[in-house]
Amino acid sequence: MDVSFLIPCARQWEGYGLKTFNSLINLKTDLSYEIIVCCPYDLELSHKKLVVLKDNAGSSGAVDPINKMCTAARGSYLILLNDEFISHPTILDVLKIFEETGLEVAGLVPDHFIDGVPRQQIPALYYPFLVNLGGCPLLPFPVISKKLVMKHMDGVLFNESFKHYGSDSWLSYYIKNKLNKDIHLCFETRTIFTINSEEPSIAKDTDNGEGTLSQLVSLLNKYPEMGYNTIV
């Protein structure tokens, strides 16, 4: 399997996740891919490209279902979306970056970031605390080698200290500052756009994700061999 798309879906399927799914099922590509959906309710769907998982009991936030999908994924590359985004038909063109450069990590850039925000202001405009952490390119929608996740990130896409907010910041920081991997932001390829383009979602720090991030960064500075999924 070449690619696994990961779609956490906590809302009404027909209004959100189904639209994301439908944008992916007929991509014109020679690559083999699967679409993994994880949601908190029973979802009775059947399609040859689809794998349906249910959130673990007591799970809250996006981190747990995303990591569950990561474990189940068979693809050499993981592409994280969510139920607010629809894929462009050219989304898999991002994998050319890996073929051409040897990179292992890229980030999808939603259209509202391209059209509504000057590129030089990303991620500072939306995530200003990252500027103080070395200006890491943010990876809320990573395209990443599963081999990298399994070998260097304790087998999870997001650190399990987080529920939602801040988890992508730690991902970016660890990859750039601990693993010394370059991160490519896919501005040149149309990849995803919001279902409601007038109100793109920006996560709010309801779970003290910024505080968790600060703790992890401090620990990594103190203990350089610290693992990615260290719990704080």
Domain spans, the chain: 3-222
Q: Which CATH architecture has domain 3-222?
A: Alpha-Beta Complex (3.90)
| Other beta carbons within 10 Å of 25 | 13
Q: What is the pTM of this model?
A: 0.91
- Using alpha carbons, list the distances in angstroms from residue 68 to 83, 88, 209, 223: 16, 25, 20, 28
Core vs surface per residue 79-110: b (16+ CB within 10 A) or e: bbbbbbbbbbeebbebbebbeeeebbbbbbbb
Per residue of the chain (232 residues), give pLDDT as tens: 999 999 999 888 998 999 999 999 999 999 999 999 999 988 888 899 999 999 988 788 899 999 999 999 999 999 999 898 999 999 999 999 898 888 899 988 887 766 555 544 544 444 444 545 566 777 778 999 999 999 999 999 999 999 988 898 899 999 988 999 988 888 788 899 888 765 555 567 778 888 999 999 999 999 999 999 999 9
